[in-house]
Structure 1
Amino acid sequence: MGDVFRVQLRMQIKPGCEQDFERVWLEVGDSVTGHPANLGQWLARSLEEPGIYYITSDWVDEPRFRQFETSERHLAHRQLLHPYRSGGSMTTMRVVAALPADGGPR
């Protein structure tokens, strides 16, 4: 798990566009999760900040994520979500440890 490259996006969605954003995110998500280097992707909505979403995606390594990031596949994905956004940021990190919950997969 220590080699996993994680990308965390913080997205500000335009007021009133939240349901459409969630729907489109689900519809186009396979353009990310279908990439052989992607290990999964999650969408979370903030409970404290209206219109704020976090997208987390895990990748086998940074070079393969960067390859995806500059691909036509990613550009098309971003263009479909862009109309709903009013701002955002990206943070990258390397997972250094993971503790599964009791009863979870080990």
Structure 2
Amino acid sequence: MGLLFLQSLPGPKVFKCRCCKVDSAPHDAIVSKNFSGRYGPAYLINRVVNITMGPSEDRHLMTGWHTVNDIFCSCCQQLLGWKYEKAYDDSQKYKEGRFVLEKARVMKIG
């Protein structure tokens, strides 16, 4: 197996994987704090690092049908949330290309 490249994020506030403490997202990338995930409250985020993505699948979420990819920590493979690939409702298009990080799966440092 090869070396694992991990990106470190600068700044006083950073979200990290709850299991292995690897940086996941900068705090200033939050778009909204009013999201719900599988395990409770979640954040809508513009940019995440140190992740791997699962296959695309269509899911019926609270706001309708979306094509999403689950996202996992690249270090420990813990499920962190999902990425919106496509929104079928025009009012939900702002989510496309953005990520949902579940509060239960990440911790905020700083």
TM-score calculated relative to the size of structure 1: 0.28
TM-score calculated relative to the size of structure 2: 0.28
Q: Specify which structure has the bigger relative contact order, considering alpha-carbon pairs within 8 angstroms and separated by 6 or more residues.
A: 1
